[in-house]
Structure 1
Amino acid sequence: MSGPRESGRPGTAESTRARAEADTDALTGTSRAAESPAARRQPSARRLAVDPVKTLLHQHRELCERAVDALEIAAGLEAHGITDRTAARFRHRDVFSLAEEMYVRSSHEKEPPPRPADAALPGARTDWVLLTLLPGALCAATVAGLRLTHGQPRLAVAVVGALAVSLGLRAALARGPLGAAARTGAVPAAHPPGARTLTRWLIAYALIAYALLGDGFLDAAVAGGPDGPPGGSADGPWPVATAPVLALALACVPAAWCAHLFTVRARRRLAASRGLEEFAASVRPLLLGTFALYLCALGALLAVCGAVLHEPAAYARALCLGALLLLARLLTVHGFTRAPALVLTAVAAAEAAAAATVLAGRLPGAGFLATPVRTLAEAWGPGSIPALICAAGALTLLMHATRTLTRASAHASRGEP
C-alpha cells in the first residue's frame, strides 16, 4: 500500500506547484502566454517604433545625401506628398523641422542646417542683364530698317531681322532668371528633349508672328482678300503690326527682373516659413503682384512704342499674349513644362483655326464656318479674336501657377542657372 501512496505524492506535488504558479500569475497579471515568441519580439518592435524618422531616411536616402540644405529636403518631401499633417506622425510639428532632423542625421557632416539669414540667394548678374536687352535692341533696329527701305531690300531686312531677333531671344532666355533650370523627369522616347524644346520654340514664334501679321491677314480675309503678300507697313492692304511686337521684345527686360524678383522673394519666404500652408499663403500674393507688375511695364512699353511708331498699340491682344508667354516661361523655369506646352499648343491651334475658318467659309455651302469669326471681327475688330484666345490661355496658366508655384518643391535651391 505504501507504493501507490508514494506514486501519488509526486502528482500531488506537481498539481500543487501548478496551482501555486497559477495563483502567482493571477496576482501579478502575467501568464505563460506572455513568454511566446511574438511577445519576445514585442520589445524590439517597440524599439523600432521609437525612431520613425529612420524609415523615412531610408526611403529618401538619395534626396538627403544630395541636398545642400534642409530646405531642399523639405521641398523634396513636399513633392512626394508629405504635408505638415503627415509630419505629425513622425513627431514633428511641420515638414521643415522634419527636414532639419533628416538633414542632420543623413551622411552630411554633423553640423546644424544653415540659418535663414545665411541662405544664399541669386543676385543680378551682368551677363543676363545685358542679354535681356538684346531682343529689344535687335527688334528696334529691324523696325528702323523696315521704315527706311523699300522693295527688295525691305524683304531682306525683314528676313535678316527676324533671324537676328529670334537668336537674340534664345540667348536672353538661355541664362538668368528666364533660363530653364535642369529638372529630372521621364521623357517619352518618341519625343526627346531636343525635339520638345524645338516644338515649344516654334509655337512661341508662331504666336509672335501672328501678333505681327495675323490681325492684318484676318482683316483682309474678312474683306475678301488678301490680294498679295504683306508690304511691311501699317497702312497697306495687309497691314503689319510692328508696335506690339517691338513692345514684347523690349518686355524681356521687365520679364527677367520680375522673374528674378519672384525667385528671390520666394526663396526668402521659404527660408523663413515654418509650414507648407504658411509658405503657400505668403507666396500667392507675391506671384500675383509680380504678374501685375509685368503687365504694367508691358502696358507702358506698348504706349511708348505706339506713340513713337504712330501705330495702334493693340493693348488687349498684346497684354494677353505677353501674360501668356510670361506665365508659360515661369512655369517652365520652375520645372512645370507640361501645362505650358499644352496651353501654348492649344492657343496656336485656335488662332490658326480662326483664320482657316474664314478661308473655308468661301467654299460653296460652307459659309456658316466663317460666321463666328466674321461676327467677332465686325463687332469688336480682328484683334478681339487673338485677345480672347490668349486671355483664355493666360487665365488657365495663371490658375495652374497659383497651385504649382506656391509649392516649396518649386523653389528648391539648385544653384543659379
Structure 2
Amino acid sequence: MTDLNELGRRALPGAADPVKVLLHRHRELCERAVDPLEIAAGLEAHGITDRTAARFRHRDVFSLAEELYARVPRDTDTATDGPAAPDAPCREAAGRRPVAALLLPLLPGALCAASLAVLFRTHGQTRLYTAAIGALAVALALRAALRRGPLAVPDGLSSRPAATGSWTCWLLAYAVLGDGLLRTAIAGGPDGLPDGTADGDWPLTLAPLPALTLACAPATWAAGLFTTRARRKLTSSRGLEDFAASVRPVLLGAVALFLGALAALVALCAPFLDTGRFSPAVLALGALLFVARLLTVHGFTHAPRVILMLTAAAQVLAPAAVFAARLPGCAALGAPVEALTAAWGPAAVPVLTCGAGALTLLVHASRTLTRASAHQRPEQPR
C-alpha cells in the first residue's frame, strides 16, 4: 500500500504515463477482470483510494479502473465469445436453478418440523433413535443449503469456516439445553440427564430449532438481495465513499428483513411448541448467525470466528459459574449470574451475549461490506 501511495505521489503532470506503471503492477488483475468494476474492487483492496486515483489524473477509482480495463489488450474473438460461453450453461440450467434455489433453503426447516412431529409421538428408546436420525437429516440438509446460493462460502475459503461451524453448534446446543440447565443449576440440580421433555430434570427448549432452520430460507433470500443490490450500487456509484454510503442502508435493510421473517417464524411455531410468541433469545441468536455468515461469504472470516467463539464461551461460563459457586468459599462466583437470572430469567444470558455479538459484527459489517473490494470474489480470508 505504501508503494502504491508513493507511486501516486510521483504521478505528477510531468510524468510520462503513470497509469502505465500501475497497469504493469496489476496486469494480472486487469487481464482476468470481466469488467472495470472488478478492477476497481481489486484496486481498493490494494489500498488505492479516490484521493490516490486523483494523483493518476482520474476523479475516482472507478474512472481509473475503466482506463486500466480499456488499456489491457484483448482478443476480439475472445471478447465477443467470452460472455456467451458462461451464459450458455446458465441458460441451459435456467429451468433447474429456480427449483434448487427454492427447495434447498426450505429443506432444513421442513425436515426439522417433520422430525419434531415424529418425536412428540414416540417414547423411550424409539424417541432417542428418532432424535438422532432427525438431527442427522437436518444437519445434512443445512450443509446442502449452505453450499449453494448467496450463503455459500467461496472455494478459496472452504478450509476456514469449520471453526465457525463448531462454535455455531455450541450456540445451538445452548439454545436447546442452556436455559434449562441454568435454571435447574440455580435450584440445586440437575439430578439427571435430559430426557427430551420440557418438564424433566434437565428441561429442553425446542422452539429455537424449527424457527432457526425455517429461517434458512429468508436468510438465503435476504443475503441474495443484499448481494444483488450491492452489485447494482457498484455499477451506478462514481466513488468509493458514494458506494459505501449507498450500500450501508441496503445492509441494514437485509438484516432487518431477516429479523422480521425470523420473528414471524417464531410466532408461527409458538402454538405448536407451547411457547411464547416472542423470543428475544432466538432473534439475537439468529441475528448473530446471519451477520456472521454474511461476513464469511464475503471473505471476512476472522471477526465472525472470534465473536462466535467469545459468545459461546460466555454462555458456557454462565452455568459453569453457578456450579463453581457450590465449592467452599466460592459463592460469590455465581452471584452475578443468579442476580441476572432472578431479574430477567435464564434467557437473559443468550440475549445479552448473542445481542452483543450481533451488534459488534453488524458494526464491523457496516465498515467492511460497504467496500467495493468486499464484492469481488475473495481469494483468501481477510
Residues 241 and 311, structure 1, Cα contact 8 Å, conserved in 2 = no
In the alignment, the residues of structure 1 paired with residue 186 and residue 123 of structure 2 have an alpha-carbon distance, to the nearest angstrom, of 27
Tell me the equivalent position of 1:128: 101
**CA shift for structure 1 position 139:** 0.7
In the alignment, the residues of structure 2 paired with residue 281 and residue 314 of structure 1 have an alpha-carbon distance, to the nearest angstrom, of 33
In the alignment, the residues of structure 1 paired with residue 14 and residue 27 of structure 2 have an alpha-carbon distance, to the nearest angstrom, of 18
**CA shift for structure 1 position 164:** 1.4
> Does 1:285 find its partner at 2:249?
yes
**CA shift for structure 1 position 181:** 1.6
Residues 31 and 72, structure 2, Cα contact 8 Å, conserved in 1 = yes
In the alignment, the residues of structure 2 paired with residue 391 and residue 219 of structure 1 have an alpha-carbon distance, to the nearest angstrom, of 21
Tell me the equivalent position of 1:199: 163
Residues 212 and 262, structure 2, Cα contact 8 Å, conserved in 1 = yes
Q: Residues 291-335 of structure 1: CA distance to partner in whole angstroms, max 9, x if unpaired?
A: 111101000100110122212356111000000000000000111
Tell me the equivalent position of 2:112: 139
The letter for the 2-side match of 1:244 is P
Tell me the equivalent position of 2:5: none
2:128 to 129, 143, 155: 155
Residues 311 and 353, structure 2, Cα contact 8 Å, conserved in 1 = yes
Going from structure 1 to structure 2, the CA distance change for 1:238 and 1:177 (only over 3 Å counts) comes to same
In the alignment, the residues of structure 2 paired with residue 168 and residue 256 of structure 1 have an alpha-carbon distance, to the nearest angstrom, of 14
In the alignment, the residues of structure 2 paired with residue 320 and residue 238 of structure 1 have an alpha-carbon distance, to the nearest angstrom, of 23
**CA shift for structure 1 position 62:** 1.3
Residues 12 and 55, structure 2, Cα contact 8 Å, conserved in 1 = no
Tell me the equivalent position of 2:333: 369
Gaps (5+ residues) in structure 1? 1-44, 115-119, 185-192
Aligned-pair identity (%):
60
Tell me the equivalent position of 1:172: 145
> Does 1:63 find its partner at 2:29?
yes
The letter for the 2-side match of 1:236 is G
Residues 244 and 314, structure 1, Cα contact 8 Å, conserved in 2 = no
In the alignment, the residues of structure 2 paired with residue 110 and residue 371 of structure 1 have an alpha-carbon distance, to the nearest angstrom, of 74
**CA shift for structure 1 position 374:** 0.7
Residues 243 and 313, structure 1, Cα contact 8 Å, conserved in 2 = no
The letter for the 2-side match of 1:49 is A
In the alignment, the residues of structure 1 paired with residue 39 and residue 374 of structure 2 have an alpha-carbon distance, to the nearest angstrom, of 12
The letter for the 2-side match of 1:213 is L
**CA shift for structure 1 position 133:** 0.9
**CA shift for structure 1 position 126:** 2.4
In the alignment, the residues of structure 2 paired with residue 413 and residue 101 of structure 1 have an alpha-carbon distance, to the nearest angstrom, of 21
Q: Secondary structure at the match of 1:300?
A: helix
- Superposition pairs for residues 17-96 of structure 1, below 5 Å? 49-96=15-62
> Does 1:245 find its partner at 2:192?
no
In the alignment, the residues of structure 1 paired with residue 301 and residue 133 of structure 2 have an alpha-carbon distance, to the nearest angstrom, of 31
The letter for the 2-side match of 1:361 is A
Residues 244 and 313, structure 1, Cα contact 8 Å, conserved in 2 = no
Tell me the equivalent position of 2:6: none
In the alignment, the residues of structure 2 paired with residue 274 and residue 110 of structure 1 have an alpha-carbon distance, to the nearest angstrom, of 28
Equivalent pairs, count: 356
In the alignment, the residues of structure 2 paired with residue 126 and residue 277 of structure 1 have an alpha-carbon distance, to the nearest angstrom, of 38
In the alignment, the residues of structure 2 paired with residue 46 and residue 406 of structure 1 have an alpha-carbon distance, to the nearest angstrom, of 30
In the alignment, the residues of structure 2 paired with residue 50 and residue 126 of structure 1 have an alpha-carbon distance, to the nearest angstrom, of 56
**CA shift for structure 1 position 50:** 2.9
Tell me the equivalent position of 1:381: 345
Tell me the equivalent position of 1:357: 321
Q: Which moved more, 1:96-105 or 1:126-135?
A: 126-135
- RMSD of Structure 2 on Structure 1 (CA): 2.4
**CA shift for structure 1 position 174:** 0.6
Gaps (5+ residues) in structure 2? 1-10, 81-86
> Does 1:101 find its partner at 2:44?
no
Tell me the equivalent position of 2:181: 217
In the alignment, the residues of structure 1 paired with residue 139 and residue 184 of structure 2 have an alpha-carbon distance, to the nearest angstrom, of 27
- Superposition pairs for residues 310-349 of structure 1, below 5 Å? 310-313=274-277, 315-349=279-313
1:298 to 262, 272, 289: 262
Residues 361 and 369, structure 1, Cα contact 8 Å, conserved in 2 = yes
Residues 221 and 358, structure 1, Cα contact 8 Å, conserved in 2 = yes
In the alignment, the residues of structure 1 paired with residue 12 and residue 147 of structure 2 have an alpha-carbon distance, to the nearest angstrom, of 54
1:226 to 159, 184, 190: 190
Residues 243 and 312, structure 1, Cα contact 8 Å, conserved in 2 = no
In the alignment, the residues of structure 2 paired with residue 401 and residue 110 of structure 1 have an alpha-carbon distance, to the nearest angstrom, of 40
Q: Which moved more, 1:236-245 or 1:56-65?
A: 236-245
**CA shift for structure 1 position 272:** 0.9
Higher radius of gyration, 1 or 2: 1
In the alignment, the residues of structure 1 paired with residue 185 and residue 12 of structure 2 have an alpha-carbon distance, to the nearest angstrom, of 78
> Does 1:235 find its partner at 2:208?
no
Q: Secondary structure at the match of 1:49?
A: coil
In the alignment, the residues of structure 2 paired with residue 386 and residue 157 of structure 1 have an alpha-carbon distance, to the nearest angstrom, of 28
Tell me the equivalent position of 1:22: none
Residues 234 and 311, structure 1, Cα contact 8 Å, conserved in 2 = no
Residues 161 and 301, structure 2, Cα contact 8 Å, conserved in 1 = no
Q: Secondary structure at the match of 2:337?
A: helix
Tell me the equivalent position of 1:187: none
- Superposition pairs for residues 2-21 of structure 1, below 5 Å? none
